Amino acid sequence: MAVAPRTPGDYAPVAGGRAVEAVQDAAEPLRDSRVLHVSAAGAPGPAPELLGGVLPLAAGAGVAVEWRVLFADPDLRRVGAALEHGLRGGESAISAEDWEAWTAACERIGRSLNGAADLVVLHDPGTLGLAAGLDVPVAWRCHVDASRAEAEALGRATSLLEACRLTLIPHESFAPDALRDDRLRTAAPGIDPLDSRNLDLEPRLPGRVVRRLGVDLDRPFVLQVMHLDRWDDPHAAIEAFRLAKAEEPELQLVLAGLLDQGSADDWRAAKEVSDFADGQQDLLLVTSYEGLGSLEVGALQRLARAALELSLREGFDLAPCETLWKRTPVVGRADGGLRFTVRDGVDGFLADDTDALAARLVELVRDPGLAAELGRSGRDWVRERFLVTAALERELVALAPLLDSVGAA
């Protein structure tokens, strides 16, 4: 993947001068080193978006970064996806034969990368098998919440981690006991405020974009942005909307579904959501197939009265940060990764059940001033903690000791 350097100073107007200086200071120990990042093709989660923001900034700060994507045959990709599913708490169901083939192939691919870098960062479970073949320090960045991982998947991941020097997770609560050792570090991700999805737009443009999608801007709407996979929960969003609409008949719900057009599972999920929502008035399902892209998602996040963030096992998602950055409050469950992004009653609301979620939506619809106040607070919160500048600083600080240990050796 091409990485075009972006000058850290470009972020000064939005992140502040101190944030830029902190990134440059954190990059200094790695400026003479080659750092290779590897992600898995088709893997769910924030890795592509995160790397798309972090790596150009790292390159601009003087770190020699490279990004490669692991494209394996369908059988190998299936095993990597199953391992991820198991670490999230599902059933991995990987046979011994498939596991042996996958680990052998990954180790072989890892050996082919030797000589390409001084440090390798592997993203998500689908690339973890490469560590066994690498002869340089390896860090594994786990973006999923593995706190309730399936025992079999966790055992397999733990054995692969023996070849890694560092495990990076978004929050310490995402790690099961088996991963809690002296190699574990936390490094929350962040959004790129200069990405096309997050830029401040010319005032009339968001309205024109959203109207084209079929949204009535004369009435309030709430939004859920989701990857149409087994871990998102649009059904809960629809139920909360139905309850809220009974109190506020003018309310609309927009489900913005991001599809992997090569994934049959995503298409099946879209069809299931469409069938579940069939007949519900003022509910609009828009997917990548209908042209939903960064501009459209950004415009929807900007104009929504509130955004729903509901998932079964998402971990640390970047979408709430993107939404807060656009001064739109977020409403979601109190028991997931959202609690690390949204402060209840400050940037949005956290609730325990569908009735409570619906009540919060009604409150925000009836009180636009409250929605605006929460949105302003949310943007300040993201600027302080969840921009790509802070995310890169956290990551570089965690990675630097690995290179120090190589020099000492």
Q: Specify the DSSP class assigned to residue 38.
A: E
Torsion sign (Cα): 146, 147, 149, 151: positive
Those residues whose C-beta lies under 8 Å from the C-beta of residue 63, and which sit 6 or more positions away, are 27, 30, 31, 33, 35, 396
CA angle 149, 132, 32 (to 5 degrees): 105
Q: What is the CA radius of gyration of the chain?
A: 21
Residue written as token pair 């959203």 = 210
* 145 contacts 286 by C-beta, under 8 angstroms: no
For the chain, what's the residue count?
Answer: 409
Please give the Cα distance from 160 to 131 (Å, whole number): 7
* 274 contacts 332 by C-beta, under 8 angstroms: no
> For residue 44, what pLDDT is reported?
64
Question: Cα 73 to chain center, whole Å?
Answer: 25
Which candidate, 190, 195, 198, places its Cα nearest to that of 299? 198
Q: How many CB atoms lie within 10 A of CB 88?
A: 25
* pTM (predicted TM-score): 0.89
Please give the Cα distance from 198 to 302 (Å, whole number): 9
* 207 contacts 284 by C-beta, under 8 angstroms: no
Quote the tokens at residue 389. 């500048």
| Per-residue pLDDT tens digits of the chain, which is 409 residues long | 889 999 999 999 999 999 999 999 999 999 989 999 999 987 666 788 889 999 999 999 999 999 999 987 888 889 999 999 999 999 999 999 999 999 999 999 999 999 999 999 999 899 999 999 999 999 999 988 899 999 999 999 999 999 999 999 998 989 999 999 999 999 999 999 999 889 888 888 999 999 999 999 999 999 998 876 666 778 889 999 999 999 999 999 999 887 655 555 665 666 677 666 667 789 998 887 777 888 899 999 999 999 998 876 666 778 899 999 999 999 998 877 788 899 999 999 999 899 999 999 999 999 999 999 999 999 999 999 999 999 999 999 999 999 875 554 4
* 37 contacts 134 by C-beta, under 8 angstroms: no
Cα–Cα distance list, 180 to 161, 170, 172, 236 (Å): 12, 14, 9, 33
